[in-house]
Amino acid sequence: MKFLIAGLGNIGNEYAHTRHNIGFDVVNAFVTKHKGTFRSARLAYVAEIKWKGKIFVCICPTTFMNLSGKAVKYWMDKEKIALENTLVIVDEVALPINKLRLKPGGSDGGHNGLTSVQESLGTTEYARLRFGIGNDYPKGMQSEFVLGKWRKEEEPLIMIKINKSVETIETFATQGITAAMNWINNQDFSL
C-alpha cells in the first residue's frame, strides 16, 4: 500500500513557516516523526517513509504553489499511487484558525495550489486536508496575510494542529478517509 502525501507551499527562505506554507510544515513534521529525510528530486523535495506495512511518498513541491499539480501528478505516476491514496495538505483562509477539515474531494475554493492539482489530475476527487488559518486581515490584504508568518500567540496552537494533522495522515492511511474525517472534522483546537 503506497500513499502520496503532498504538502503545498512555496520554496525559498522568505516563505518558510508562513501561513501559506503550512502544507510543507505538516509534511516535514510527519517525516521527522517517522525519522525520514528529504532529498532533492524532480519537481519536489521527497522523503519515503515505511510505517505499519505502508509506504508514504512525501513531497513538498519545488514548483511554487501555482504549479503544485505538476509535482503531484508526476509523483503519483512515477510511484504508481492510486488517486484514493493521495492526500494534499493546504492552508485555508475560509476556515477559522482552530479548525482542520479533511474532505474526499470538492472545489479548489479559490486556492491556487488546489486549482493546479485539479487541472493536473483532471478531477476534484482527491483527498485534501485543509488547515484553517483564519481570515483576520484588513480588506485587500489577503495576500500579505497568507504570505505572512504566524503571530507569536498563534504559534502554540499551530504546533498542536500540526501534530493533529500528522495523526490525521496516519489515520487516513490506516483506517481510511471516513474514519479520519469523523475523527478530525468536528474538533475545535485551543490552548
Q: Which residues are catalytic?
A: 20
Question: In Å, how far from its chain's centre is CA 99?
Answer: 14
CA dist 30 and 28 (Å) reads 5
Looking at the DSSP assignment, which residues form a beta bridge with residue 45? 40, 60
3-state secondary structure of 60: strand
Return the beta strands (E) in the chain as ranges: 2-7, 39-41, 44-51, 54-61, 86-92, 100-103, 127-132
Tell me the Ramachandran region of residue 125: left when phi exceeds 0, alpha when psi lies from -120 to 50, beta otherwise. beta
